Structure 1
Amino acid sequence: MQNYQREFVEFLVRTGALRFGEFTLKSGRVSPYFFNAGEFNKGADVEKLGYFYACAVQESGAPSSIIFGPAYKGVTLCIATAIALRQHFDVDAYYCFDRKEIKEHGEGGWLVGKAPEADDQVVMVDDVITDGATKVTMIRRIKEATSAAVTGLIIALDRREQNAEGGNSITSLESTTGVAVHAIITIQDILEHLPNRPIDGKVALDSETHKKIQEYLSEHGIDK
């Protein structure tokens, strides 16, 4: 793990974005942990979040003239990432996000920010991948509408978990679109760094919960 990844794991705990217990997911599975990107809701957290995404963009090696975030969660992410790339890596990328409803007046269109052109290289940023269908649709829309290249997709957390069909949503997205997915961290990074480690004086992931996550992954994980 890189230092920024270790910092990100601890950041998730401190912000409450990563919690442990019993959580019923949309899939109906009962998970011993839960990630909620909605907890990144104040200035200092968003600033730090942009830094972690910028680090992942740089590590991925994906060329990026535009950082694109799908509405709604991706709106904050693309702006924060573009700012952090400039502040920390001297990369002055544009940002762009889509409108849920096409604007018919003013500047119009379905994009806000720098609309990609044929010679642009677009990196998409989002929180997680569930089944990947919406991201496949958006990648295709960007390519077809602008002729720009989508060079990468950065997400916060890869759960390393089977989808409803028993497959891997990330590898399926990659094979369908030709776009590589890079996660800031995976659940395995959490299991490596966090067990019995005090964060601000409190252990977030004890041995019992660590075992429950391993058992959960042995049943639902893609690495079993």
Structure 2
Amino acid sequence: MSDLRQEFIAFSVEAEVLRFGEFTTKAGRLSPYFFNAGLFHDGATLGQLAQFYAQTLLDSGVEFDMLFGPAYKGITLASATSVALAGKGRNTSFAYNRKEAKDHGEGGTIVGAKLAGKVVIVDDVISAGTSVRESVDMIRAAGAEPVAVLIALDRMERSGKDGALSAHSAVQQVAQEFGIPVISIANLDDLFGYLSGATADPRLSQHKEAVAAYRSRYGV
């Protein structure tokens, strides 16, 4: 596990954005952990989160011209990442969409810079891939090219229901469907490595077995 990934997991736990216990996912599964990027809701934590996004994107080597944030969480994430990139010497424009078209003023559903060139979609996680598909459609309709999806945490979790689980995760399906990479700051393997590591809080290491069982059942 890279230092950046380890730092991100530790940061998420400390900010209580990554929590352990029993949580019901959108798929109706009982998960031993839950990641909610919406809880990065103050200036300090959002600024630090944006640094992780920006550095991960730069380290990926993906060529890009601008960022796109799907409503709603992606709006904050894309704009904050753009600020962080500028601080690293890479001034990058960004845009985002409205859920409903505006019929006055500038109108339309896209706010911010004009969609053009190579575009990176910035979001928190990929569950069903719906927001990514909608984003890809909007970007291509504008004549621009989606080149990657940048997320915080890849759950590395197979889609579908018990007895009919997909061979691939939602992240893998998105990558295959659109032929673009999905870049994550960290993933489930990094999370498990953190719980297994010597630096893990003893209060957290007690969740290791539950996470391992969940990964064995649903992981790719």
The answer on whether the counterparts of 1:162 and 1:221 sit within 8 Å (CA) in structure 2 is yes
1:45 corresponds to 2:45 = yes
The answer on whether the counterparts of 2:128 and 2:170 sit within 8 Å (CA) in structure 1 is yes
RMSD of equivalent CA atoms: 1.5
Write the mapping of 1:2-81 to structure 2, written as runs, cut at 5 A: 2-81=2-81
Write the mapping of 1:9-158 to structure 2, written as runs, cut at 5 A: 9-88=9-88, 90-117=89-116, 120-144=117-141, 146-158=142-154
Query: What is the distance in 2 between the residues matched to 1:61 and 1:19?
Result: 31
Query: What is the distance in 1 between the residues matched to 2:145 and 2:87?
Result: 25
The answer on whether the counterparts of 2:70 and 2:131 sit within 8 Å (CA) in structure 1 is no
Letter in 1 for 2:157: E
Q: Paired residues, what number?
A: 215
Q: Which residue of 1 aligns with 2:159?
A: 163
TM-score by length of 2: 0.92
Query: What is the distance in 1 between the residues matched to 2:47 and 2:179?
Result: 30
Structure 1 runs (4+) deviating above 3 angstroms are 194-199
TM-score by length of 1: 0.90
Query: What is the distance in 1 between the residues matched to 2:194 and 2:104?
Result: 51
* Partner secondary structure for residue 194 of structure 1: helix
The answer on whether the counterparts of 2:154 and 2:184 sit within 8 Å (CA) in structure 1 is yes
Write the mapping of 1:188-199 to structure 2, written as runs, cut at 5 A: 188-195=189-196
Gapped regions of structure 1 (runs ≥ 5): none
Between the two proteins, what is the percent identity of the paired residues? 38
* Partner secondary structure for residue 213 of structure 1: helix
